[in-house]
């Protein structure tokens, strides 16, 4: 739901009635991950997507129906190739969709409104909902903020909110959206409930060191992937807004000095394109000891070997050097700045998602590299196009 927060927040401010269909579990080669949503307002306007087109029409009708009868429903869509006109996925996977009506006068709409407002403002917040459990708990929401404060309630046992808030807070810290199991009474041994947590966090950072032509292309690629991009270089003649119009921030400063004072986290990617020892060595010495997602450095294999030697001389260990992606990028045969930026971006995505970087044609590796299993049975759900005995799995997505 939070992936379409900008538009939904406008709908809330306009007082529209709407229903939201959210992907809550995925099995196999599902087209979208948990948290992906489609919303329909009272006029029939639709935004978002839950399947890339496979089951959008059926989900659209479920949203219209939910607006009419006010009922929250959980429905499963799966593979179906026996009938060309049957509703189902063509990719071989299955998805569970939770459809929640949110009329303007709904008692719990305020919690959803607060979550959408936070997401639209790019503020950190998580919203938790029960997707598998007693009917009286479905459709409720609990909003959790980074400081531990919360709004709303899931109902049920008094300890349920406390436990759910703890789970949501942990997933918010990691910037993750996905499902987890908790006990109905708030413990780990009670009747299991499935909790969907959607996290809204500020965009991850990409810091590009080295104001060269390749950096300009990488900035554009980083923005395309949803990063907040900073360009840093100590040379003011090259580090200008004219050369990097797409960057969110331009910093004229020695790279290691800037990295010492700026904030990074477990989603930050650092791309060192300077390939100059006086910049690279102090910068990488620091970067390889920070809890960031990715550190890559440009240069030839000869430059790489020389840089590693210099880094060892200043105390960088072999274990720390294993974190360094150098020469940066995947082997695409890239020549131009744009092709090189694509190569670097491809490696960042593969590192983030656990991909191998090998061609999918002829390979026996999974297309999607996520696979946390969820409960086999889902109370009150409807199955469409899923072979008997097949159950979806919950997938924990990234931030």
Each residue's pLDDT tens digit in the chain (399 positions)?
A: 888 999 999 999 999 999 999 998 887 656 678 889 999 999 999 999 987 667 888 899 999 999 999 998 888 887 554 433 344 445 556 788 999 999 998 878 899 999 999 999 888 899 999 988 888 888 789 999 988 899 999 987 888 999 999 999 988 887 888 888 888 877 766 678 889 999 988 888 999 999 999 999 999 999 999 899 999 999 999 999 999 999 999 999 999 999 999 999 888 999 999 988 899 999 999 999 999 999 999 999 999 999 999 999 999 999 999 999 999 999 999 999 999 999 999 999 999 888 888 888 877 766 655 533 332 222 233 333 333 233 333 333 333
Distance between CA atoms of residues 23 and 76, nearest Å? 10
Among the listed residues 248, 246, 277, 272, the one whose alpha carbon sits nearest the alpha carbon of residue 259: 272
Q: Model confidence over 288-307: pLDDT tens digits?
A: 999 999 999 999 999 999 99
Tell me the CA distances in angstroms from 131 to 71, 140, 331, one per residue in order: 14, 10, 42
Among the listed residues 132, 30, 32, the one whose alpha carbon sits nearest the alpha carbon of residue 386: 30
Backbone angles phi, psi at 19, to 5 degrees: -125, 145
Distance between CA atoms of residues 363 and 378, nearest Å? 34
End-to-end CA distance of the chain: 14
Q: What number of helices (H) and strands (E) belong to the chain?
A: 10, 17
Among the listed residues 104, 173, 187, the one whose alpha carbon sits nearest the alpha carbon of residue 144: 173
Of 3.90.1150.10, 3.10.690.10, 3.40.50.720, 3.40.50.170, the CATH number of 205-353 is 3.40.50.720
Distance between CA atoms of residues 363 and 369, nearest Å? 14
Question: Beta strand 324-325 with 294-297: parallel, antiparallel or unpaired?
Answer: parallel
Peptide bond preceding 327 in cis form (omega within 30 of 0): yes
Q: pLDDT at position 30, please?
A: 60
Domain boundaries, the chain: 2-201, 205-353
Distance between CA atoms of residues 167 and 193, nearest Å? 13
Contact 74, 97 (CB under 8 A): yes
Q: pLDDT at position 334, please?
A: 92
Among the listed residues 144, 113, 158, 156, the one whose alpha carbon sits nearest the alpha carbon of residue 5: 113
Q: Model confidence over 253-292: pLDDT tens digits?
A: 999 999 999 999 888 999 999 988 899 999 999 999 999 9
Q: pLDDT at position 362, please?
A: 77
Supply angle C-alpha 360, 397, 2, rounded to 5.
125
């Amino acid at each position: 739901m939070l992936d379409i927060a900008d538009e939904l927040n406008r709908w809330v401010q306009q007082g529209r009635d709407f229903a939201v269909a959210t992907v809550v579990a995925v099995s196999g080669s599902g087209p979208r991950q948990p948290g992906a949503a489609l919303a329909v307002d009272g006029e029939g306007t639709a935004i978002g997507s839950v399947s890339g087109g496979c089951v959008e029409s059926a989900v659209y009708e479920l949203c219209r129906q939910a607006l009419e009868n006010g009922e929250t429903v959980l429905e499963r869509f799966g593979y179906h190739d026996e009938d060309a006109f049957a509703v189902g996925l063509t990719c071989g996977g299955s998805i569970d969709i939770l459809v929640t009506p949110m009329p303007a006068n709904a008692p719990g709409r305020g919690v959803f409104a607060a979550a959408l407002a936070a997401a639209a403002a790019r503020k950190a917040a998580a919203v938790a909902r029960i997707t598998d459990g007693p009917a009286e708990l479905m459709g409720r929401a609990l909003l959790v903020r980074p400081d531990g404060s919360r709004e709303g309630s899931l109902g049920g046992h008094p300890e349920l909110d406390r436990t759910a808030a703890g789970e949501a807070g942990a997933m918010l810290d990691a910037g993750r959206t996905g499902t987890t199991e908790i006990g109905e009474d708030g413990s780990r041994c009670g009747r299991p409930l499935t909790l969907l947590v959607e996290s809204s966090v500020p965009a991850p950072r990409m810091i590009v060191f080295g104001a060269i032509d390749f950096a300009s292309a990488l900035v554009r690629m980083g923005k395309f992937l949803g990063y907040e991009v900073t360009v840093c270089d100590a040379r003011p003649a090259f580090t200008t807004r004219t050369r990097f119009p797409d960057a969110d921030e331009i910093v004229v400063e020695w790279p290691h000095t800037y990295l010492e004072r700026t904030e990074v986290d477990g989603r930050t990617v650092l791309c060192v394109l300077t390939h100059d020892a006086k910049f690279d060595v102090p910068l990488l010495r620091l970067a390889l000891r920070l809890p960031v997602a990715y550190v890559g450095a440009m240069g030839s294999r000869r430059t790489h070997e020389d840089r590693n030697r210099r880094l060892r001389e200043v105390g960088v260990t072999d274990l720390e050097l294993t974190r360094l992606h150098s020469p940066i990028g995947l082997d695409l045969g890239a020549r131009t700045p744009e092709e090189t930026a694509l190569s670097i971006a491809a490696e960042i995505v593969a590192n983030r998602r656990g991909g191998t970087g090998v061609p999918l044609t002829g390979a026996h590796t999974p297309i999607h590299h996520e696979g946390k299993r969820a409960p086999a049975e889902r109370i009150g759900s409807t199955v469409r196009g899923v072979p008997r005995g097949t159950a979806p799995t919950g997938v924990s997505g990234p931030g």
